[in-house]
Amino acid sequence: MKNIQLDITKAAQFLSANAISAYEPKVKAAQEALENGTCPGNDFLGWLHLPSSITPAFIAEVNETAKVLRDNCEVVVVAGIGGSYLGARTVIEALSNSFQWLLNDSKNPVILYAGNNISEDYLAEMCDYLKGKKFGVINISKSGTTTETALTFRLLKKQCEDQRGKEMAQKVIVAVTDAKKGAARTTADKEGYKSFVIPDNVGGRFSVLTPVGLLPIAVAGFDIAKLVEGAADMEKATAIDVPFTENPSAVYAACRNALYDAGKKIEIMVNYQPKLHYLNEWWKQLYGESEGKEGKGIFPAAVDFTTDLHSMGQWIQEGERTIYETVISIEQPNHKVLFPTDEENLDGLNFLAGKRVDEVNKMAELGTQLAHVDGGVPNMRLIVPELNEYYLGQIIYFFEKACGISGNLLGVNTFNQPGVEAYKKNMFALLNKPGYEKESEAIRARLNK
């Protein structure tokens, strides 16, 4: 089996001859600090050897629970936010038919996502859609107290019990949460839900290969053993004893940090497949929440091409030269569509007749890369042989390992997210949450000024 490959030649040409190799010893030290557990946030390194430690028995247990949900539900709602849903959504959307929700496919339940916003309209419309449907819920929250998810879960639990009865609700509600702490754990234990534990030493955005991601992915009908196999192979390919130039995560970490040193403060993740939109979202969270600290960090942005070439393309081609791109390039599509000949050729497109649509997409990709490089935008390319569970596993681990290395290079604690608390504190104060009396007073005084 081939591995995914990173091509940095069109990024390195923007750097001095030794800029990348100068990073080699720093990357080695950063990776050693990860592997030896001496870096900041070292109590959150459980993801590092997670793929190789997942047993067939564990996969079987996850699949067994997934089967209960698949057998008893037409719709399964994945309730979670941030790291508690983005990984699952990434894999499910990348592997699903683009029109899955219109297919009336009795084989697989429809997967919905909730608990990732507080929009009343969103919740009302979802609850309305669920009326009369055989639905189940996977309630995912490591802390078990996240407002968006907890609020949504309370609504879904009630509707599920009202619609399906307490006994069936108990069967089709599954919790993925902490072993002991949090309201999600308390509820799961009290109600007797099947539950899975998120290991203490795996942070939310690194948790896709725990039941946080594995359970929803299995419920959607995908092969989680293959996903884990891909990740485990990438764990080997990026191990500490792999030479720098052969370790794609090390090279990616080095290249993005060398570009950052050269004033490229924004990394744009690019795909040419709409199915990869959520890979962009997952990656943005992984890097944004891990590195954006202490006034530092590359800003992770993302676009879906060729769609966004007709919107953001102008900015990328000619805007401020503080950006670089990382393109996810899928070598082989899963379908084949040949462009037909038309005798009248009214649209003038006969020059494409007989070609695969993917060839046009690939030429758009190549043409864009050349144009953006000419426009002063360094380009990296992650070459993926095809879109399946195995390669998604590789991609996930590749980015996780590179993120761990990159955060250490930057000198931040990659695994915390202290900045996320600021909005919560204000929101709780404004909502008069018990325990926030002092903050409530202060914030009201500030607003009345």
Q: What residues from 74 to 113 belong to the interface with ligand PA5 (CB under 6 A)?
A: 81-84
Q: Residue 271 region, left (φ>0) first, then alpha (ψ -120 to 50), else beta?
A: beta
Decide: is 157 part of the binding site for ligand PA5 (CB under 6 A): no
Q: Is 277 a catalytic residue?
A: no
Residue with smaller CB distance to ligand PA5, 271 or 285:
285
Decide: is 216 part of the binding site for ligand PA5 (CB under 6 A): no
Decide: is 303 part of the binding site for ligand PA5 (CB under 6 A): no
Query: What are the percentages of helix, strand and coil residues in the chain, rounded to 5?
Result: 55, 15, 30
Cβ 34 to ligand PA5, closest distance in Å? 17
The binder of ligand PA5 chosen from 10, 89, 142, 171 (CB under 6 A): 142
Q: Is the peptide bond between 306 and the residue preceding it cis, with omega within 30 degrees of 0?
A: yes
Q: Phi then psi for 17, rounded to 5 degrees?
A: -50, -35
Cα 420 to Cα 405: distance, rounded to the nearest angstrom: 22
Q: Which stretch binds ligand PA5 (CB under 6 A): 197-205, 220-228, 249-257, 362-370?
A: 197-205
Contact between residue 259 and residue 11 where contact means Cβ atoms under 8 Å apart: yes
Q: Which stretch binds ligand PA5 (CB under 6 A): 49-57, 203-211, 266-274, 425-433?
A: 203-211
Which residue among the candidates 93, 229, 267, 289 is catalytic per the annotation?
289
Q: 284 exposed, middle or buried (CB, 10 Å; 0-12, 13-18, 19+)?
A: middle
Q: Which stretch binds ligand PA5 (CB under 6 A): 140-148, 234-242, 302-310, 391-399?
A: 140-148
Q: Is 310 a catalytic residue?
A: yes
The binder of ligand PA5 chosen from 51, 109, 136, 204 (CB under 6 A): 204
Q: 307 exposed, middle or buried (CB, 10 Å; 0-12, 13-18, 19+)?
A: middle
Residues whose CB is less than 8 angstroms from the CB of residue 431 and which lie 6 or more positions away in sequence, other chains included? none
Q: What residues from 259 to 298 belong to the interface with ligand PA5 (CB under 6 A)?
A: 289
Helices (H) and strands (E) in the chain, counts: 17, 10
Cβ 128 to ligand PA5, closest distance in Å? 25
Residue with smaller CB distance to ligand PA5, 284 or 356:
284
Cα 41 to Cα 209: distance, rounded to the nearest angstrom: 19
The binder of ligand PA5 chosen from 171, 205, 275, 372 (CB under 6 A): 205
Q: Is 24 a catalytic residue?
A: no
Contact between residue 237 and residue 53 where contact means Cβ atoms under 8 Å apart: no
Residues with a known catalytic role: 289, 310, 424
Which residues here bind ligand PA5, judged by CB under 6 A?
81-84, 141-143, 146, 149, 203-205, 289, 417
